[in-house]
């Protein structure tokens, strides 16, 4: 049994673990990076990038079907070759993973260990069956995994998670998506645009991350143009029959439906990967689910030299947040007990649908009633959006009544991912609605819709004064 003594041990070499390693080294500490699974990050292998490749294929198919209003007629039927679609998804995915692997390969061999780690005691880790690591500080960056509820676990290979989609060699005929969060809606719509018959079964009326009732209702109606969307479905029974799955569910209106599908794609949430860590062998304080209690500002678990970063902590499961957390955790682990709180960036969330969904800053549900005004714009008659025949969407921006400061926004509409960045920058700069309206808006662009919403908010502030 080999024994390694180190300043900082990082468990997990993903989007948080790699920055944590680099930050610890930059702070002058010795560090070792421990990984038991495949290298390449969740984002590159089964998350952000392969999903966008599938979405891009779906957008191409959708655009090809909607050329006639421009006077552009495509003779004959649009043919979608599922094998070619998935071949490109996988080949481009592998190329992107390769870039991450190159960065891991550049790390000195003495700073890497392969194997799953678990705690023997507070500062001692067992890695595989070959190495023990005695560390002054530990960063837990083990990521998260999809949750498959017990109801679906008996379906064998007919129940899949998003990881499995990107290993397909061809597209299925018909699929049920359980869960109407970001992953379920993105993949569900992409597959529908590629000719797959899709039913999305949500629960409790959820539509992605949206909390504004008007925007949520608009998005729900819009998604129904792409696939069958039951946002308040109650699944009563599932059964495997041959190579199909039969599902009985009740809709929000009380209608009982039975249908058969090739696969059930479960996108019902994720859980942190703590199962292998044997945290019970430490003196960390754990909650009822076995998750360490920690400070989301410093990422420190209690008073211990243990820091939790990335999807493992469940705060903001986004790549840029994981990287920020990794850098903070690595630096704090290296400099312990001298630790510094993480400065978070303006909250930003994007759902890559057609049209897109985005949220910036404070959510509608978190705002105090009567303290803000809501500026609104419909993109249905917005100039550039109508020119491109992408004129679907509704936006709400929230502005504080007292300070006139921009607080946040929720919307569905064209170019949402780009407008989201403008608003996130404005929020982080603490701009007022007046300062935002002094910024240049070119003509004709979709961003003029944002200006309309801001003008509406400013008018409401004058009325309220």
pLDDT tens digits along 426-435:
999 999 999 9
Give the span between the Cα atoms of 115 and 129, in whole angstroms: 8
What domains sit in the chain, N to C, each tagged with a CATH number?
A: 2-146+271-335 (3.50.50.60), 150-268 (3.50.50.60), 348-464 (3.30.390.30)
What is the pLDDT averaged over residues 367-393? Answer: 97
- 36-88, pLDDT tens digit by residue? 988 878 888 888 899 999 999 999 999 999 999 999 999 888 999 999 999 99
Rounded CA-CA distance 200/180 in Å is: 7
CA distance 216 to 322: 27
Place of tokens 């004064």: 465
pTM of the model: 0.95
How many CB atoms are closer than 10 A to CB 397?
A: 28
Predicted pLDDT of residue 174 = 98
Predicted pLDDT of residue 45: 83
DSSP code for 140:
E
% pLDDT > 90, the chain: 91
Evaluate if residue 239 carries a pLDDT over 80. Answer: yes
Q: What is the pLDDT of residue 39?
A: 81
Under 8 Å between Cβ of 115 and 130: yes
Distance set, CA 446 to CA 119, 293, 411, 453 (Å): 53, 44, 13, 12
The closest alpha carbon to 47, from 100, 9, 114, belongs to 100
As a whole number, the mean pLDDT across the chain is: 95
Residue 185: exposure state from Cβ atoms within 10 A (0-12, 13-18, ≥19): buried
pLDDT score of 376 more than 80? yes
Residues 374 and 460 sit within 8 Å (Cβ to Cβ): yes
Q: How far apart are the first and last CA of the chain?
A: 74
Instruction: Tell how strand 372-378 and strand 131-140 pair up.
Output: unpaired
| Core vs surface per residue 270-298: b (16+ CB within 10 A) or e | bebbbeebebeebebeeeeeebbebeeee
- Work out the average pLDDT over 233-249: 96
Stretch 183-193: mean pLDDT: 97
What is the per-residue pLDDT across 272-327, written as a single tens digit (0 to 9) for each?
999 999 999 999 999 988 889 999 999 999 999 999 999 999 888 888 999 999 99
Tens of pLDDT, residues 348-370:
999 999 999 999 999 999 999 99
């Amino acid at each position: 049994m080999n024994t390694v003594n180190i300043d900082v041990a990082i468990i997990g070499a993903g989007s948080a673990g790699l920055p944590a390693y680099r930050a610890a080294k930059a702070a002058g500490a010795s560090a070792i990076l421990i990984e038991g699974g495949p290298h390449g990050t969740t984002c590159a292998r089964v998350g952000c990038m392969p999903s966008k490749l599938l979405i891009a294929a779906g957008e191409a198919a959708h655009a090809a079907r909607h050329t006639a209003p421009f006077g552009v007629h495509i003779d004959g039927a649009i043919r979608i070759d599922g094998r070619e679609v998935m071949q490109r998804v996988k080949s481009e995915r592998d190329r992107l993973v390769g870039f991450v692997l190159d960065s891991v390969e550049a790390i000195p061999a003495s700073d890497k260990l392969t194997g799953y780690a678990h705690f023997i005691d507070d500062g001692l880790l067992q890695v595989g069956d070959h190495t023990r690591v005695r560390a002054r500080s530990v960063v837990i960056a083990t990521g998260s995994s999809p949750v498959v509820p017990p109801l679906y676990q008996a379906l064998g290979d007919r129940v899949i998670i998003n990881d499995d989609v990107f290993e397909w060699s061809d597209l299925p005929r018909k699929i049920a998506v359980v869960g109407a969060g970001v992953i379920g809606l993105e993949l569900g719509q992409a597959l529908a645009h590629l000719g797959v018959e899709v039913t999305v079964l949500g629960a409790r009326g959820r539509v992605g991350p949206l909390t504004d009732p008007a925007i949520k209702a608009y998005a729900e109606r819009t998604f129904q143009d792409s696939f069958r969307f039951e946002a308040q479905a109650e699944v009563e029974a599932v059964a495997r029959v041959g190579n199909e799955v039969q599902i009985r569910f009740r809709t929000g209106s009380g209608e009982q439906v039975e249908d058969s599908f090739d696969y059930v794609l479960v996108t019902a949430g994720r859980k942190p990967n703590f199962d292998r860590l044997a945290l019970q062998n430490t003196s960390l304080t754990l909650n009822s689910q076995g998750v360490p209690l920690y400070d989301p500002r410093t990422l420190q678990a209690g008073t211990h030299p243990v820091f939790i970063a990335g999807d493992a902590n469940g705060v903001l499961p986004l790549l840029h947040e994981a990287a920020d957390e990794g850098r903070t955790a690595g630096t704090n682990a290296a400099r312990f007990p001298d630790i510094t709180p993480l400065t978070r960036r303006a909250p930003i969330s994007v759902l890559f649908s057609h049209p897109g969904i985005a949220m910036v800053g404070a959510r509608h549900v978190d705002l105090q009633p009567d303290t803000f005004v809501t500026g609104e714009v419909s993109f249905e008659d917005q100039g550039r959006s109508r020119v491109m025949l992408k004129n679907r969407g509704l936006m709400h921006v929230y502005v504080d009544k007292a300070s006139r400061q921009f607080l946040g926004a929720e919307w569905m509409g064209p170019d949402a991912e780009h407008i989201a960045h403008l608003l996130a920058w404005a929020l982080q700069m603490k701009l007022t609605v007046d300062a935002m309206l002094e910024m240049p808006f070119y003509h004709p662009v979709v961003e003029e819709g944002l200006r309309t919403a801001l003008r509406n908010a400013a008018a409401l502030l004058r009325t309220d004064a």
